[in-house]
Chains A and B, each alone.
Chain A
Amino acid sequence: SQTIHQWPATLVQPVGSPLSLECTVEGTSNPNLYWYRQAAGRGLQLLFYSVGIGQISSEVPQNLSASRPQDRQFILSSKKLLLSDSGFYLCAWKRDYNEQFFGPGTRLTVL
């Protein structure tokens, strides 16, 4: 069966520091992968999606970037974090016919 992992689970970072969040999927090949951000008590904002290695589409311009160096690995990065980057970051993968499943998430606090 397929599983999706994210790490770290929680992270506290100072403003201006870099960021790297990792997502990996097991048990499937060539998945579509997605990064979402959820601010406290808010909805799900799509940040990036990828249909294959090296292919990244950005939904919202900001100081974040994404990369997909391997088929089942999706990385979210920032060179300099802002206070507004705090939130719950969710990676998701999609299989056929749009059934989409979320990873456990990373809770990021920027101080």
Chain B
Amino acid sequence: GENVEQHPSTLSVQEGDSAVIKCTYSDSASNYFPWYKQELGKRPQLIIDIRSNVGEKKDQRIAVTLNKTAKHFSLHITETQPEDSAVYFCAASRNSNSGYALNFGKGTSLLVTP
């Protein structure tokens, strides 16, 4: 089955700096890669996703890049703000309407200090 590794487990940056979180996956058939943000005590929220037919996707201060050959994808947050502090999860799965579930990384705890 799919195995998703996520690094780092914790990340501390100064407000205004950039943050990068990296994930690798093992199943070459995976073609959907979402990122979730989970604030303390709340549900994970989908913030951005990318499919294997594109290499990069951007939404304001957030971008995701995908390297299918190397089987890794990354989340980039620019101009970080204190409200970006949360746990971020990457995931990977096959694009299917069957029961294929998302395989999650173990999460990265991001702290943005003012």
Number of interface residues of A (CB under 8 A): 22
Q: A44-B44, A100-B46 are in contact. Are A49 and B99 (CB under 8 A)?
A: yes
| Residue in chain B with minimal CB distance to A103 | B43
- Check if B101 sits within 8 Å of A34, measured CB to CB: yes
Residue of B43, B46, B96 contacting most chain A CB atoms (<10 Å): B43
**Residue in A43, A57, A97, A101 whose beta carbon sits within 8 Å of that of B104 in the complex:** A43
Q: How far is the CB of A36 from chain B (nearest CB, A)?
A: 8
Q: How far is the CB of B13 from chain A (nearest CB, A)?
A: 20
**Please, how many angstroms separate the alpha-carbon atoms of A42 and B49 in the complex?**
22
Q: Name B47-105 residues within 8 Å CB distance of A.
A: 49, 51, 89, 93-102, 104-105
A82 within 8 A of B: no
Q: How large is the interface on B (under 10, 10 to 19, 20 to 34, 35 or more residues)?
A: 20 to 34
**Number of A-B pairs whose CB atoms are under 8 Å?**
52
Q: Name A5-48 residues within 8 Å CB distance of B.
A: 32, 34, 42-44, 46
Q: Which residues of B contact A103 (CB under 8 A)?
A: 43
- Check if A97 sits within 8 Å of B95, measured CB to CB: yes
- Check if A99 sits within 8 Å of B43, measured CB to CB: no
Query: What are 27 pairs between A and B in contact, CB < 8 Å?
Result: A34-B101, A43-B89, A43-B106, A43-B107, A44-B44, A44-B89, A44-B107, A46-B101, A49-B99, A49-B101, A51-B99, A90-B43, A90-B44, A97-B32, A97-B51, A98-B32, A98-B93, A98-B102, A99-B46, A99-B49, A100-B34, A100-B102, A101-B46, A102-B36, A102-B45, A104-B43, A105-B42
The 6 closest A-B pairs by CB, nearest first: A102-B43, A43-B106, A98-B32, A51-B99, A44-B104, A49-B99
> A residues touching B (Cβ–Cβ < 8 Å)?
32, 34, 42-44, 46, 49-51, 57, 59, 90, 96-105
